Structure 1
Amino acid sequence: MASKKQYVCTLDEKTLDKAKRELNEDPATRQVHLDKLREMFNSRPDIKFRSDDAFLLRFLRCKKFNAERAFKTLVRYYETRRDYKEIYGNFVPSHMNHILEMNVHYLASGRDNEGRRVFLFRPGCVDPQKTNLVTAIATSIMVLEKISEEEETQVNGVVAIGDFTGATMGHATALGPATAKKLTDLIQNVLPLRLKAIHYVNQPAIFDAMFALFKPFLGEKIKKRIHFHGEEFGNLHSHVPSNLLPAEYGGAIPEFSNKELTEYLLASEEDFIENNKYGFPKSKDALGGESIGADPATGLKGTFKKLEI
């Protein structure tokens, strides 16, 4: 079970005021919305919901404290974890360690002028002939899921930067439209995050073909938040402060390094393991244990749990 630790809001006065204005969050009625959301769990007894306040607030905030919309997103969160096995099949940081060693991802230690997290990814660092590109995508989702725990990030949101240096037709082929659709679904409809902007830099000629995989699945809101910069970092700096960026992007950080990010994720191994316990039960859990199932010689064996009809 998730920890029963009492929720204590960590937002400062300025951020809490922003949450009131933009997300309809009111400390006086926060618990009422949480209780309303938890009551909806009864309509889906097939799902094992994580129910601690801190977790549920991620979904309420991203849906502006509309409990009905938050519940739909929460259900979708568990559905994608069940259905997108190529991403969530082994969703723990230790399984992504080989991707982390490739220095694909960067998370700025500070925040921009609006309090947003800045996350940068470099898909071209992954050789699609040697490494499963979907695992690199899963690592990106893991980073976003981890920072979604931060209350300040829940309110202020995230800015993503995609550096496509080194991207080739091999990357586009390895990605494919099906995976592009799933990734877009996760970013737009599932993860409890406010994605405030996406910036693309160093786009090669093949980029148009890669972006074409995603474009049909993008909503109008996201499309309006996408910016293309090529190799013009001055324009990027008008959106993202240069003091948050590595030197490769005209920034003040001496080098691109994900050492802190790697340590941040690996230290959270047990948290991911715990969170993975929720959702749709595996068949062995639903039927009463691993010994339940078909016996080649005698047919069904074991004792099925009582089913409510």
Structure 2
Amino acid sequence: MTDYTNECCLQFRVPDQEVEWETALVPIKDWLSKQPHLPNDVDDILLRRFYTSCGQNLERVKKTMDLFFTIRSTTPELFTKRDPWAPEIRQVFDIADMCPLPNKTKENYRVFIYRLNNPDYDLFNFVDAIKTFFMLADTRLTEEDDIPSGEIPIFDSNYITLKFIGKINLAILRKYMLYTQEAIPIRLKQVHIINSPSYIGKIFALCKPFLNPNVAKLIKFHEPGSDTLYKDVPQELLPTEYGGKAGSVDQIKRYWMKRVEAKRNWFLANDKNWAVDESLRPSANNDEKIKKVKDLPGSFRSLAFD
């Protein structure tokens, strides 16, 4: 194929792709405009996420979007008052590393590393950490137009001890599990727990009641010092601290911190923009899963641990 032909193909391919997207999103936008309880100010980039993550199934898109906004509206602890400049958010970024890695796998999967970098649990607040985690997720969901085919979170448990159990808020954990498994528009492909200690099962037991069996099948545990992770995730995709070529954890984290901070006005306005008005919800949109979410208790105290 000549250079001229290549150039022509490129010129026509992009507009054609945009037309395909516009066509695909029309019924979603039409449905959304007829839902008086849901927000209508939803960017195309997020609608595309729902469309792709739901396998281009319109009915699944509808149910997932409704659940997405409903969980957010019933969990103000995580989805309101989200100021990237707030001291509690800055502290989370100080003691935790949340890093979407720059390069994807050959299958077009995005890899994400989450870890504590400070063993002082007095500095750690579970609710603030989850809130910050979702702020980073929202930044990706509303800005990344190169939608990955799947997600691979890697949780490094190097600084996780049994005392971590005492920091967990079960009500928030339950909503976190429901939101990440059923509502957020991503496709989980693998979940890795690295540097997992011998007692990780005791901590994992807290998640089990809320864990979807299909997600449970994706989870793999890797002992400290093992290289079993690299069978699934190429090492070169990882930060230099893990023997990879993606740059340092600090460099990657600071890049994403700046992205989140640049969205400050969006976060401050998002409380109202994505709110659900339950008084306007049509009765047909009140299925069992939605009822279950609305019946979930609010946050309660963390577990006690001696």
**TM-score normalised to structure 2 length:** 0.75
Q: In structure 2, what is the equivalent of residue 218 of structure 1?
A: 211
- Aligned-pair identity (%): 26
Matched residue type, 2:38: I
**Partner Cα separation in structure 2 for residue 134 and residue 90 of structure 1:** 13
Counterparts in 2 of 1:26-65, with a 5 A limit? Answer: 30-65=21-56
Among 109, 115, 131, the alignment partner of 1:122 is: 115
Counterpart contact for 2:95–2:123, Cα < 8 Å: no
Question: Does the CA-based 8 Å contact 1:120-1:163 persist in structure 2?
Answer: yes
Structure-2 residue corresponding to 1:264: 259
Q: 2: CA distance between counterparts of 1:41 and 1:253?
A: 39
Aligned CA RMSD, in angstroms, stands at 2.9
Given that residues 165 and 202 in structure 1 are in contact (C-alpha distance below 8 angstroms), is that contact kept between their aligned partners in structure 2?
yes
Deviation at 1:160, TM superposition (A): 0.5
Q: Write the distance in 2 (CA, Å) between the matches of 1:270 and 1:33.
A: 30
How much has 1:111 moved relative to structure 2?
A: 1.8
Per mean C-alpha deviation after superposition, the further-off stretch among 75-84 and 86-95 is 86-95
Q: CA deviation at 1:182?
A: 1.2
Kindly tell me: are residues 57 and 166 of structure 1, through their superposed partners in 2, closer, same or farther at Cα, counting changes over 3 Å?
same
The aligned residue for residue 220 of structure 2 is: 227
- Contact 1:61–1:155 at 8 Å: present in 2 too? no
Residue-by-residue CA offset, 1:210-234 (whole Å, 9 max, x unaligned) = 2111122222321221111112442
Q: Which is bigger in relative contact order (C-alpha 8 A, separation at least 6)?
A: 2
- Number of the residue aligned with 2:268: 273
C-alpha distance in structure 2 between counterparts of 1:197 and 1:179, whole Å: 23
Structure 1 residue corresponding to 2:234, chosen from 241, 245, 265: 241
Q: Which has the higher helix share?
A: 2
Q: Quick one: structure 1 residues 249 and 203, their matched pair in 2 at CA, closer, same or farther if it must change by over 3 Å?
A: same
Which of 57, 60, 67 in structure 2 is aligned with 1:69? 60
Distance 2:254 2:19 in 1: 40
Aligned-pair distance for 1:52? 3.3
CA displacement at 1:128 relative to structure 2: 3.6
Mapped contact 1:167–1:206 kept (Cα < 8 A): no
Counterpart of 2:145 in structure 1 is 151
Partner of 1:3: none
Change (3 A) 1:142 1:77: same
Residue by residue, what CA displacement relative to the aligned partner does 1:56-101 show, whole Å, maximum 9, x if unpaired? 1111111112222112111111111111122112234333222112
Matching residue within 92, 95, 98 for 1:102: 95
Residue 143 and residue 73 in structure 1: after superposition, are their counterparts in 2 closer, same or farther (change >3 A)? same
**Counterpart Cα distance in 1 of 2:237 and 2:90:** 24
User: Is contact 1:37-1:68 (8 Å) kept?
Assistant: no
CA shift for structure 1 position 120: 0.5
Per the alignment, do residues 253 and 57 of structure 1 end up closer, same or farther by CA in structure 2, a change over 3 Å counting? closer
* Structure 2 residue runs without a partner (length 5+): 1-8, 279-306
- CA distance in 2 between counterparts of 1:275 and 1:245 reads 32
| Corresponding letter in the other structure for 1:196 | K
Q: CA 1:86 to 1:169, structure 2 compared with 1: closer, same or farther past 3 Å?
A: farther
Q: Which amino acid aligns with 1:71?
A: K
C-alpha displacement of 1:42: 4.8
The alpha carbon displacement at 1:253 in A equals 5.0
CA distance in 1 between partners of 2:154 and 2:98 (Å): 10
Structure-2 change in CA distance of 1:155 and 1:121 (3 Å): closer
Aligned length: 262
Between the aligned partners of 2:61 and 2:135, the Cα distance in structure 1 is 20
Q: 1:60 to 1:168 in 2, by over 3 A?
A: same
Unpaired runs of at least 5, structure 1:
1-11, 17-25, 284-309
CA shift in 2, pair 1:141/1:125, >3 Å:
farther
Task: Tell whether the 8 Å contact from 1:60 to 1:67 is kept in structure 2 after alignment.
Answer: yes
Query: Retained in 1: the 8 A contact 2:110–2:148?
Result: no
